[in-house]
Amino acid sequence: MDPNEAAQRSARVAAVFERVADTYDTVGVPWFTPIAERLVAELSPAPGERALDLGTGRGAALWPLADAVGPTGRVTGLDLAPAMVAATRREATERGLATVSLLVADAADPGLPEASFDLAVASLVLFFMPDPPEALRVWHNLLVPAGRLGLSTFGPRDAAWEQLDDVFTPFLPPQLLDARTSGARGPFVSDAGVEELLAAAGFTSVHTASFEQAVRFVDAEQWRLWSWSHGQRVYWDAVPQEHRGEVLAAGSERLEAARDSYGGFTLTQQVRITVGVRPPTVDRDALPGATTS
């Protein structure tokens, strides 16, 4: 991708998350946190390890990483949106987490020393990168030999969710960037596609674990508040003010297809976790048949 185009794309992503920083993952609808917790658990962080959270947001992966590596470990979280970093830094201080540091930095090229982390996570981040293969190569080099990388990306969502999001379609420009739309084509369309991206970047022992994540709303207004609080804010921004009422009405009607036995609404999304390992350094002198001079 052309460097200017890549910079413009990153700036658009940062602007969206800058606007939603105050409400991101804080409107009472569990979504990013359970996904990030599953991702962190898949990597089995150990006490004393150094962990990197790429695209930390409001800390969905940061907090379980800090708990896992404990007081002898270190966790670095970075995000491109300064307001997001400021809010998460305040929370880290409130939690008394002296082992956590927060940086305003681009996950695509954080500018951190190579081979300085035992593990890294990127929860629902890779598809926002202007050049995902290049980002993976950068992340590979940030890990020590035998260091682990874990990613979460989206698989298919249920039919009710597809129909619900279609209420925005008439208003969306073709170049609109959204996590699930960018995940509906190219390498993000399958487990194998994401695994191939990691393998091409030099990772070994690449494997995928998938699960179904539900999101529940008590009513259409909670859905509106939630969709306004994260990356889907760009959908609402694309709808002219005079048409937002009709979009909400159409969304309320389509939510009926997701009504559950508790009287609310449940939508489901497949999520994949892909893990890879930077190959360990080979001690060639220890190989069978090695000779010394």
What is residue 19's predicted lDDT score, i.e. its pLDDT? Answer: 81
Rg of the chain over all Cα atoms, to the nearest angstrom: 20
Return the structure tokens found at 157: 């969502």
Average pLDDT for 124-140:
95
Residue with tokens 């300064």: 82
What is residue 193's predicted lDDT score, i.e. its pLDDT? Answer: 94
The DSSP output letter for 156 is E
Average pLDDT for 74-101:
97
First-to-last alpha carbon distance for the chain, in angstroms, is: 48
The pLDDT confidence band at residue 184, using thresholds 50, 70 and 90, is low
What is residue 21's predicted lDDT score, i.e. its pLDDT? Answer: 79
Estimate the crossing angle of helix 62-69 against helix 32-43, to 10 degrees. 30
The count of other CB atoms within 10 Å of the CB of residue 273 is 24
Considering the chain, what is the average pLDDT of its residues? 90
Question: Which residues is 53 bridged to in the sheet?
Answer: 77, 121
Alpha carbon distances (Å) from 30 to 41, 89, 165, 216: 17, 21, 19, 8
Estimate the crossing angle of helix 244-255 against helix 220-228, to 10 degrees. 120
> How many Cα atoms sit within 13 Å of 289 on the Cβ side?
0
The DSSP output letter for 259 is B
Percent of the chain at pLDDT above 70?
90
**3-class DSSP state of 81:** coil
Alpha carbon distances (Å) from 99 to 72, 190, 195, 210, 222: 8, 36, 32, 31, 35
The pLDDT confidence band at residue 120, using thresholds 50, 70 and 90, is very high
pLDDT at 156 over 50: yes
Q: What is the pLDDT of residues 31-75, one digit of tens each?
A: 999 999 999 999 999 999 999 999 999 999 999 999 999 999 999
Percent of the chain at pLDDT above 90?
75
What is residue 175's predicted lDDT score, i.e. its pLDDT? Answer: 67
Residue 52 main-chain phi, psi, to 5 deg: -125, 130
Average pLDDT for 160-185:
75
Which pTM does this prediction carry? 0.89
Pairing relationship of beta strands 143-157 and 204-217 according to DSSP bridges: unpaired
pLDDT at 208 over 70: yes
Q: Are 189 and 183 in contact (CB under 8 A)?
A: yes
Residues, the chain: 293
How far is residue 174's CA from residue 93's CA, in Å, rounded to a whole number? 41
Average pLDDT for 249-276:
95
Strand order across the beta sheet in which 204-217 lies: 100-104, 74-79, 50-54, 117-123, 143-157, 265-277, 204-217
Average pLDDT for 104-122:
97
Residue with tokens 């979280």: 77
Q: Are 216 and 129 in contact (CB under 8 A)?
A: no
The second-level CATH assignment, the architecture, of 3-157+177-215+268-278 is 3-Layer(aba) Sandwich (3.40)
Amino acid at 69: V
**Strand extents, DSSP E, 124-264:** 143-157, 204-217
